[in-house]
């Protein structure tokens, strides 16, 4: 079982080298290394863990073709990887590099080797003052997420694109004698794609946040500023600038008055009247905080109105709702944002709603979207545990867009059971073509360790994608079941079966697939 050299693989590696993407990959690796080197002299715990994943995969429809054109195949996967973790008093590093090779028994033209990298580093360069964050990622992402789930396509490089990102972010955080607390950050971020038509981009973002320190009692204030410049190789640039300041004076322990002024300046290509409006605004209002669990701020003024409510009745419960009506800034008009979280002994409950305006390269480059290099799944933030659910991504685009997304999830965690259900709805409006898409999704996973070394795996995922400017509708779903058994403390084996189906109003998109996967994971 292994990967053998062939003309396709050799060409892929050569093209990768000639394209200059290896420069980005090496720069990303060096970025992480330099941050680590800045604190390498300090004592800490360091681990280097090599591992390998070997799989045999049977698929009844290797190219996800319509009925009557489906072809089966047997695929050998070999994926060696190395994970490096380090933690000291002033440094934290977590990086993994993986080389995934796929060898097809019948469709040899699909043989491919993919590089995958996930790395994050943070360091305190000057104690209590200067810090550095860095991260780098190399992964693969579907070109048309409406027709396949992330991390599940074996149809080859024509159905997905390589995504290369790295980000370097030094920042200053300091309390100046209880008078001013300051956070100043500069972020340089780069995104590169292996697929033509998606613009490579380089961004530079400067942020400054100042707030009154502990010496201020009744009178408090804060000021913020950011400037984000995104240069794109074969698409128009995106420039965003915003400044705001708020002053608050406490009349009593519960009531206060407040004022806010701000300025917005944006520039990008749009044919939508609600793309952006530039200018300044001001507003005045009140704040009410009857106890430490509840607070409400309300503002009313020229070109700006808002209400912000926060409620945290317990340390494990938090609710925030924000409404704003503005005549300047991104996506002017009425906008809502909110979040809810609740944790109990065995459950976690989360819900959120967001309305924002962004470009695809900014979301990926700044880490708002995170492409898992191993699975290809796309997350709202880097995943912290096995219960993190992927978000849905639309086709990668050079257009700026607005998005409205609501999501809710509940997880159950016991000694033997881990389960999660997630539902979401997202609408995206593109600001040049004026097209719109909407996605509804529901997913669930259940892992039950019914024996000491054996776990039952169950999963399901359903997604409906509607193209609102046409009649196209895609219904994509799968169900999965399997077993995973621990052979030793450093090895496990799993056997899974998955049935996937796409029903589309475009008949040529329809497909069905049965897949059986036998996998051995071994760490050294």
CA distance 188 to 173: 18
Q: What is the pLDDT of residue 390?
A: 43
For residues 463 and 477, is the Cβ–Cβ distance under 8 A?
A: yes
Angle formed by the axes of helices 7-18 and 21-37, to 10°?
70
- Find the range with the poorest average confidence among 141-155, 195-209, 388-402, 450-464: 388-402
Where residue 38 falls among pLDDT bands split at 50, 70, 90? low
Q: Quote the Cα angle for 122-123-125, to 5°.
A: 150
The bridge status of strand 294-302 relative to strand 279-291 is antiparallel
CA distance 443 to 392: 11
> Residue 337 class from Cβ within 10 Å (0-12 exposed, 13-18 middle, 19+ buried)?
middle
Q: What is the pLDDT of residue 269?
A: 93
Q: Quote the Cα angle for 368-371-373, to 5°.
A: 150
Structure tokens at 388: 């993190």
* Residue appearing with tokens 């719109």: 436
Q: What is the pLDDT of residue 28?
A: 54
CA distance 140 to 371: 8
Q: What is the pLDDT of residue 237?
A: 95
- How many other C-beta atoms are found inside a 10 Å radius of the C-beta of residue 176? 10
pTM: 0.83
Res 66 pLDDT > 80: yes
CA distance 167 to 104: 35
CA distance 331 to 418: 40
Structure tokens at 66: 């319509």
- Find the range with the poorest average confidence among 226-235, 463-472, 489-498: 463-472
pLDDT tens per residue, range 241-271: 999 999 999 999 999 999 999 999 999 999 9
Percent of the chain with pLDDT over 90: 67
- Measured in whole angstroms, the distance separating CA 229 from the mean position of its chain's CA atoms is 20
* Residue appearing with tokens 């169950």: 458
Partnered with residue 480 across adjacent β-strands are 459, 498
């Amino acid at each position: 079982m292994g990967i053998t050299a062939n003309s396709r693989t050799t060409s892929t590696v050569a093209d990768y080298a000639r394209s200059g993407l290896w420069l980005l990959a090496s720069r990303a690796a060096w970025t992480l290394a330099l941050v680590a080197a800045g604190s390498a002299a300090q004592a800490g715990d360091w681990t280097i863990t090599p591992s390998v994943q070997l799989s045999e995969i049977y698929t009844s429809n290797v190219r996800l073709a319509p009925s009557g054109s489906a072809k089966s195949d047997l695929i050998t996967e070999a994926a060696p990887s190395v994970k490096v973790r380090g933690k000291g008093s002033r440094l934290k590093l977590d990086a993994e590099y993986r080389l995934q090779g796929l060898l097809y028994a019948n469709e040899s033209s699909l043989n491919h080797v993919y590089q995958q990298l996930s790395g994050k580093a943070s360091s305190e360069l000057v104690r209590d003052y200067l810090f550095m964050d860095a991260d780098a990622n190399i992964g693969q992402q579907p070109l048309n997420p409406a027709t396949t789930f992330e991390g599940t396509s074996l149809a080859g490089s024509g159905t997905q694109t390589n995504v290369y990102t790295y980000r370097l972010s030094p920042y200053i955080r300091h309390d100046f004698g209880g008078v001013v607390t300051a956070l100043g950050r500069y972020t340089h971020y780069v995104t590169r794609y292996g697929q033509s038509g998606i613009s490579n981009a380089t961004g530079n973002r400067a942020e400054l946040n100042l707030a009154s320190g502990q010496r201020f009692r009744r009178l408090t204030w804060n000021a913020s500023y950011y400037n984000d410049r995104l240069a794109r190789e074969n698409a128009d640039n995106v420039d965003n600038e915003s400044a705001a300041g708020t002053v608050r004076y406490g009349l009593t322990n519960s009531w206060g008055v407040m004022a806010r002024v701000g300025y917005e300046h944006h520039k990008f290509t749009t044919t939508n009247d609600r793309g952006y409006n530039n200018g300044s605004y001001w507003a005045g209002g009140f704040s009410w905080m009857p106890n430490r669990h509840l607070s409400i701020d309300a503002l009313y003024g020229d070109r700006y109105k808002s209400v912000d409510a926060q409620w945290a009745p317990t340390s494990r419960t938090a609710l925030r709702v924000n409404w704003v009506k503005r005549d300047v800034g991104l996506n002017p008009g009425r906008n809502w944002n909110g979040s809810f979280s609740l944790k109990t002994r065995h459950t976690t409950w989360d819900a959120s709603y967001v309305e924002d305006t962004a470009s695809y390269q900014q979301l990926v480059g700044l880490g708002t979207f995170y492409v898992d290099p191993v699975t290809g799944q796309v997350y709202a933030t880097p995943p912290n545990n096995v219960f993190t659910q992927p978000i849905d991504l639309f086709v990668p685009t050079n257009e700026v867009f607005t998005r409205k997304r609501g999501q809710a999830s509940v997880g159950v965690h016991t000694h033997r059971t881990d389960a999660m259900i997630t539902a979401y709805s997202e609408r995206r409006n593109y600001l040049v073509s004026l097209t719109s898409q909407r996605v509804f999704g529901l997913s669930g996973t259940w892992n039950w360790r019914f024996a000491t070394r054996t776990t039952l795996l169950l999963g399901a995922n359903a997604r409906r994608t509607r193209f609102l400017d046409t009649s196209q509708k895609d219904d994509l779903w799968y169900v999965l079941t399997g077993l995973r058994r621990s052979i030793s403390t450093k090895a496990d084996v799993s056997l899974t079966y998955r049935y996937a189906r796409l029903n589309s109003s475009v008949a040529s998109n329809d497909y069905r697939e049965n897949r059986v996967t036998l996998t051995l994971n071994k760490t050294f």
